[in-house]
């Protein structure tokens, strides 16, 4: 079962920052936080991941609280094309396995 909790849906105005929260209060010390998104029925798209430090790439920023029990994905300037289901996933770094367990995610609607 997924070990994360996300709001089922959120709206964001185009051009504004989208802040997507995730609760992972039972996260273990060796587990990373991953974010993926899925647009319609396309394959999940990797966005970003982190262990305990905040991370930023060309797509988004990931803010992880100091106690690692929650995190926020930030899309700094949301566009209509960012409308998708966003998944927050925690998983350990396993050299052989590494399955991803998807929850229901947050359905983000970016509106003009």
Residue 69 CA to residue 76 CA, distance in Å, equals 22
- Asked if 96 interacts with another protein (CB under 8 A), we say yes
Residue 58 CA to residue 43 CA, distance in Å, equals 20
Q: Which of 21, 31, 72, 103 binds another protein (CB under 8 A)?
A: 103
Residue 51 CA to residue 30 CA, distance in Å, equals 8
CB of 16 to another protein, least distance (A): 28
Which residues, listed in sequence order, are joined to residue 35 by a DSSP beta bridge? 48, 88
Residue 74 CA to residue 35 CA, distance in Å, equals 11
Site string for another protein, 48-77 (x = CB under 8 A): -x----------------------------
CB of 108 to another protein, least distance (A): 16
Binding site for another protein (CB under 8 A): 32, 34, 36, 38, 41-46, 49, 87, 93, 95-105
């Amino acid at each position: 079962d997924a070990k994360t909790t996300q709001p089922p849906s959120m709206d964001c105005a185009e051009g504004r920052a989208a802040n997507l929260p995730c609760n992972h209060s039972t996260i273990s010390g060796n587990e990373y936080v991953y974010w993926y998104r899925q647009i319609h029925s396309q394959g999940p798209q990797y966005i970003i991941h982190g262990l305990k430090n905040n991370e930023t790439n060309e797509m988004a920023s990931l803010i992880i609280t100091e106690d690692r029990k929650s995190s926020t994905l930030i899309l700094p300037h949301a566009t209509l094309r960012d409308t998708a289901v966003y998944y927050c996933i925690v998983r350990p770094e396993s050299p052989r396995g590494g399955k991803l367990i998807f929850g229901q995610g947050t359905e983000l609607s970016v509106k003009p």
